[in-house]
Amino acid sequence: SNYNANFAGQPTPAGQALLTANLFTQSQLASLGAVQQPLASPPPGEAGLGWLKAFDLKVSWPYKVREYLTIEPSVGIFNLFNFANFDSPNNSLLQALDGSPGSPNGTINNAARPDRSGIGSGVFGLGSPRVVEFGLKIDF
């Protein structure tokens, strides 16, 4: 990544102040881990999910009950058009969330279609089937 090539291993602003004051050398700061750390590359097959599609919509309308009291009901619909987001041919998304070592959340897929992202696959946002959320906000 550009960050790793240009900034990783460089002193932080605090580290730069220590270098300027001749209290440490660049190699001493690096051996102490007091430099900008490199970003880890994602594990193979867990990135590049640009094929996921979703269209989200949230509508809210405030009602002023009194000068100091406002009630605001809302409806949020995630994946409004219910796009079917199928996993890539090697099921890389579900493998990333199947509870195996390195899995972000340890969720196990119990879906009838193992190639479909959905409830039980650990997908709680982009890629899941249509979800409707009702809300009520009270400001006082």
Residue 130: Cβ within 10 Å count: 13
**For the segment 46-69, what is each residue's pLDDT rounded down to a tens digit?**
555 555 677 889 999 999 999 999
What long-range pairs does 104-108 form, CB within 8 A, spacing at least 24? none
Helical (H) or strand (E) element with 73: strand 69-78
pLDDT of residue 89: 45
Are 135 and 77 in contact by the 8 Å Cβ rule? The answer is no
**For the segment 7-25, what is each residue's pLDDT rounded down to a tens digit?**
888 999 999 999 999 999 9
Q: Facing residues of 102 across strands? A: none
Q: What is the pTM of this model?
A: 0.42
Residue 75 has which token pair?
């409806």
Q: Who has greater pLDDT, 129 or 72?
A: 72
Backbone phi, then psi, for 11, in 5-degree steps?
A: -70, 150
Confidence band, pLDDT 50/70/90 cuts, at residue 4:
confident
Place of tokens 């270098």: 19
pLDDT of residue 48: 53
State how beta strands 131-139 and 69-78 pair: antiparallel
pLDDT of residue 41: 73
Query: Rounded CA gap, 8 and 34, in Å?
Result: 11
What is the average per-residue pLDDT within 87-107?
A: 48
Helical (H) or strand (E) element with 138: strand 131-139
